[in-house]
Amino acid sequence: MPFGRQRVGFNNPPASLIGFQQILNRSGFFLYSGPPAFGNLIGSVASVAGTDKFGNSYLSGQTTYTQSGGTFLAANLDDPALSALIGLFVYTAASAAGPWTRQGYVYSDLAGDLVLNSGGGAQPASVTLTNNGLVKVGNASHLLATVVSAFNGAVEETWHPVQGGVGFQNSWADSGAANAVTTQYRLNALNETEIVGDLTVPVAGPNAIIFTLPAGYRPAHIQQIPFVIVSQAGGAPQVTTMRAFVGSSGDVTAANFPAGLTSMRVAFPADTSISLDA
């Protein structure tokens, strides 16, 4: 039997070190809001999950805890269930005693992809933003616009030219200028009708229907599209008032063009879109 006082040191560590708001023991490091007690755990660093002596359930890895509206929340930085990848894993519990249920996560894998999951399930149910610009839903890769379409229940269409399709009216026409876009429309992934075009304004009677959108591309109520003037000769400048009105009939009607024009070229602004349910 050894004689004398036994020292606490490297070879004889204490079972635990207890401070006013923290405990360090062989299970890990635990931080409390106020004196250590049930429901007061706000942080832990532990190699394995467990329960402290006050009844607080804790997760493995580095975790912070809080509660809101009676629900206990945990933000964990290292979930061994997902190949020990470091990210942010969100858990909830009905009590400080647990059990904890994973609700979602976000992490970056070794390939540089960003993985998102809002359901807490296995990785195949995740959305992955890959480092080469694709969106991966489960195990299938898609372009971003395709994924947006799937989420919104709409289809990303190819463009429909007005000329050779629904046709121009009242002497309106494509400008035909070099590198100018022809007038076209399509449905986008946000359930909107997009319109592009570079147009020659008819000298006589410009304030009239330009073309008519077919059914399925028409808004529920009248919406306005301002024009951008590309060039003008004759007539007073009307930059702030010239526009097209689009209603439930599908008519795209020019308005507020000045009299006395000898020539004018206008364009629909970039990103012109019409909400179909507004």
In this prediction, residue 188 carries a pLDDT of 84
Lowest mean pLDDT among 52-56, 114-118, 162-166, 219-223: 114-118
**Per-residue pLDDT reduced to its tens digit, 217-241:** 999 999 999 888 887 776 555 555 7
Which residues, including other chains, have CB under 8 Å from residue 92's CB and lie 6 or more apart?
A: 71, 72, 73, 74, 100, 101, 103
Report which of 116, 118, 114, 88 is spatially closest to residue 103, judged by C-alpha positions.
118
Average pLDDT of the residues in 66-90: 80
In this prediction, residue 270 carries a pLDDT of 81
Please determine, for residue 140, whether its predicted confidence score (pLDDT) is greater than 80. no
In this prediction, residue 15 carries a pLDDT of 56
Q: Which range has highest mean pLDDT (6-10, 82-86, 113-117)? A: 113-117
The sign of the dihedral angle between the CA atoms of 147, 150, 154, 156 is positive
Structure-token match 């909830």, residue found = 92
CA dihedral 248, 252, 254, 255 (to 10 degrees): 10
In this prediction, residue 96 carries a pLDDT of 96
